[in-house]
Amino acid sequence: MNQQSRQPQTITVYLPSKYGAVAVNTKTGISGGALNKNSKSEAKQAAIKQCEEGGKNAPCQVVMWVRNGCIAVAEGKFSSGKSQIFYSSTGKAGTVENDVLHKCHKSGASKCEVFIPEGCSLP
């Protein structure tokens, strides 16, 4: 019997990146988002389009984008009555909402709530 030695083979798999974005009208607080787009510019344009709803909520601007990761947004209220928006992104699905709430509480806000739940753009 002749046994041949087997060499391990390397197989390269190409997974295209996916992008997401969040856009906000800073005067009204209205927001919109996009996930699983093929480019950063496509994600940004789609987020602005959703936020502006045909122009009635304009102007909206992109406040965060992600490549192959997840996004969540929380709002924190302070004892002064002021509120602040917190954004978070990471590559690990299932952790972004906790991360954004941690950032919010760490800032000193007394009431922190997720208002855009975790959304992921993954290859």
Query: Do residues 63 and 87 make contact, with C-beta atoms less than 8 angstroms apart?
Result: yes
| Tens of pLDDT, residues 41-61 | 999 999 999 999 988 889 999
DSSP for 86-106? EEEEESSTT-HHHHHHHHHHH
pLDDT category of residue 91 using cuts at 50, 70 and 90: low
CA distance 123 to 93: 12
Instruction: Output the pTM of the full model.
Output: 0.81
pLDDT category of residue 2 using cuts at 50, 70 and 90: low
pLDDT of residue 61: 95
